[in-house]
């Protein structure tokens, strides 16, 4: 148990390090890569929701580790998506690429909201599985920052007329994270 918690907290610490190395790349924007990465993120969010839903406090810490592992995969995929979507040069994308991007983001936002709400529902079960709640509280904070960065890149690549919808999606995700943060701040 003690060894497990140490591993978890080291993992939390290393998240902030990986978040700090995000830099926009000096390559032309490739919408297909960005869209593909966002869709991969959505699939991982489905996996996370399923794993969270299946969490049984009686299984204890190993079950929390399973969620932790899937969240690590998500963070890795977020870094990959950042590399795929965040570039320095302004994008010049076609109508259909714009539509496909918006569709991918819309899916992503609904899967993210579903995964976050599953985390909120399971919070009382995590509370009886120390240090799961504390650990996931850390994940929520780190993910909030990563997703904010990603949305700023996506907004940068989005033609003006589609910006309102991107901002709306951004607010939906930001609100969901803010709610989860409040729930996880409670003891």
Ligand X SMILES: *[C@@H]1O[C@H](CO)[C@@H](O)[C@H](O)[C@H]1NC(C)=O
Binding site for ligand X (CB under 6 A): 148, 151-152, 155, 167, 170-171, 174
Q: Residue 81 Cβ, how far from ligand X at the closest point, in Å? A: 15
Please identify, using beta-carbon distances, which residue of 76 and 148 lies nearer to ligand X.
Answer: 148
Please identify, using beta-carbon distances, which residue of 129 and 158 lies nearer to ligand X.
Answer: 158
Largest CA distance in the chain: 54
- To which H or E segment does residue 167 belong? helix 163-185
Q: Residue 170 Cβ, how far from ligand X at the closest point, in Å? A: 4
Q: Residue 152 Cβ, how far from ligand X at the closest point, in Å? A: 5
Please identify, using beta-carbon distances, which residue of 28 and 164 lies nearer to ligand X.
Answer: 164
CA 2, 137, 71, 11 dihedral sign is negative
Q: Residue 109 Cβ, how far from ligand X at the closest point, in Å? A: 12
> Do residues 37 and 77 lie in contact, with contact meaning Cβ atoms separated by under 8 Å?
yes
> Do residues 65 and 72 lie in contact, with contact meaning Cβ atoms separated by under 8 Å?
no
């Amino acid at each position: 148990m003690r060894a497990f918690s140490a591993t978890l907290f080291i993992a939390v610490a290393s998240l902030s390090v990986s978040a700090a190395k995000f830099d926009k790349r000096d390559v032309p924007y490739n919408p297909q890569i960005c869209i593909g990465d966002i869709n991969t993120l959505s699939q991982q969010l489905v996996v996370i929701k399923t794993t969270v839903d299946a969490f049984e406090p009686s299984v204890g810490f190993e079950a929390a580790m399973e969620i932790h592992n899937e969240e690590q995969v998500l963070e890795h995929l977020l870094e990959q998506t950042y590399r795929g979507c965040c570039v320095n040069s302004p994008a010049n994308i076609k109508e259909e690429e714009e539509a496909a991007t918006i569709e991918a983001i819309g899916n992503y936002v609904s899967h993210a909201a579903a995964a976050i709400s599953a985390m909120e529902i399971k919070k009382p079960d995590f509370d009886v599985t120390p240090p799961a709640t504390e650990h996931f509280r850390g994940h929520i904070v780190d993910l909030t920052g990563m997703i904010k960065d990603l949305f700023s890149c996506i907004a940068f690549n989005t033609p003006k007329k589609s910006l309102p919808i991107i901002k709306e999606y951004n607010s939906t995700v930001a609100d969901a994270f803010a709610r989860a943060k409040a729930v996880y701040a409670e003891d």
